[in-house]
Structure 1
């Protein structure tokens, strides 16, 4: 099976459950998405129901076309939708992919959900898909996200200047981080053992 087919499955542990989104997830995700803090460093801004619907419809279309695997991130203790994350920029022949489009609703931040969701996605990428490289990118201004990525052992690689337009008219400088296959074992242990790793919203 292709990486997209293999990744389109449920990932879970005692803390979180990640499953590919379906149309019925629209309202649960809308409830969490209507928070301007989520979109501060994102490449788009969601302020209205129409903007969310366009965002959700694009996610469904990307998933159907094999461009992304978009997960509904569910808090296992409550069974409630917490937010969403994706495998994207999937380059299977090159052995690399990106974890991005990551966001959580306000009530689910700082609870360890982000840490465990990223753990499951990295584990799946390296141990099931056989990836050689997993990438992350964020806005160079997003200092919290940059520190969160360093905290798990991701390597900061450099800045791509004027990478893309942002809401409001500025051009974002994007900073890339990565974890390589050889680095996964210590990163895995950091994610398993750290009491708290801050993974802010707006990575991707």
Structure 2
């Protein structure tokens, strides 16, 4: 099964729809908090780097969603499916960020639930991967909270903002773990 780049996913409260070029200005408004990009590969507070970050989505190299609050019809942030390997039946969920005002609100867990459900129950993935900066304790805690298993660290793996080299830590959830994780998280 191939990725549908027109895919929309939703829950009672959130809509995930593909990123459009005309979303960039609204996203830019959400990215202006100081230090928001400390653990991210791009500083999205500038239109040029936001456009560079979005380019793979427009080239259909990853399915980048905007996260929309259905009650207010406002964009809250973004997340994506990427690194899709059909033969290996694996996909990565990542490139995720939320406006500072929505961090710690439970939205990230809801987004992961929507995306994991689709990955395991519609795409029939065997493995869903996540990766983050080893220094990003907030992201690491969030991944553990949804049941992702820490796998290991790739040293000096990724170039970050301000020319820092990141040690990347990988997490995953396997198909054989999915039903237990759904029950544990009351999804």
TM-score by length of structure 2 reads 0.92
What residue number does 2:38 align with?
40
For 2:169 and 2:31, how far apart are their aligned partners in 1?
Answer: 24
Hey, what does 2:161 align to over in structure 1?
Answer: 167
Residue 135 (structure 2) aligns with: 141
Match of 2:11 in 1: 13
Partner of 1:25: 23
In structure 2, the gaps of 5 or more residues are none
Q: 1:187 to 1:19 in 2, by over 3 A?
A: same
- Could you tell which deviates more after superposition, 123-132 or 107-116? 107-116
Contact 1:17–1:76, Cα closer than 8 Å, also in 2: yes
Which residue among 69, 76, 79 is the counterpart of 2:70?
Answer: 76
Query: In 1, Cα distance between the equivalents of 2:146 and 2:108?
Result: 12
- Distance change in 2, residues 1:54/1:64 (3 Å): closer
> Contact between 1:18 and 1:72, CA under 8 Å: does it hold in 2?
yes
8 Å CA contact 1:15, 1:113 repeated in 2: no
**1:180 equivalenced with 2:180 (yes/no):** no
Q: Which has the higher helix share?
A: 1
| Deviation of the 1:48 alpha carbon | 2.6
d(CA) in 2 for partners of 1:24, 1:98? 25
1:55 matched to 2:49 = no
Q: Secondary structure at the match of 1:77?
A: coil
Query: Aligned equivalents of 1:128 and 1:153: distance in 2?
Result: 20
The alignment partner of 1:8 has SS state of coil
Segments of structure 1 that go 5 or more residues without pairing to the other structure are 194-204
**Highest relative contact order (Cα 8 Å, sep 6+), 1 or 2?**
1
SS at match of 2:147: coil
Over 3 Å counting, the alpha-carbon distance change for 1:181 and 1:103 in structure 2 is: same
Distance across 2 between alignment mates of 1:47 and 1:64: 19
In the TM superposition, residue 64 of structure 1 has moved relative to its aligned partner by 4.1
SS at match of 1:39: coil
SS where residue 36 of structure 2 aligns? helix
Is 26-35 or 172-181 further displaced after alignment? Answer: 26-35
1:158 matched to 2:152? The reply is yes
**1:110 alignment partner, SS class:** coil
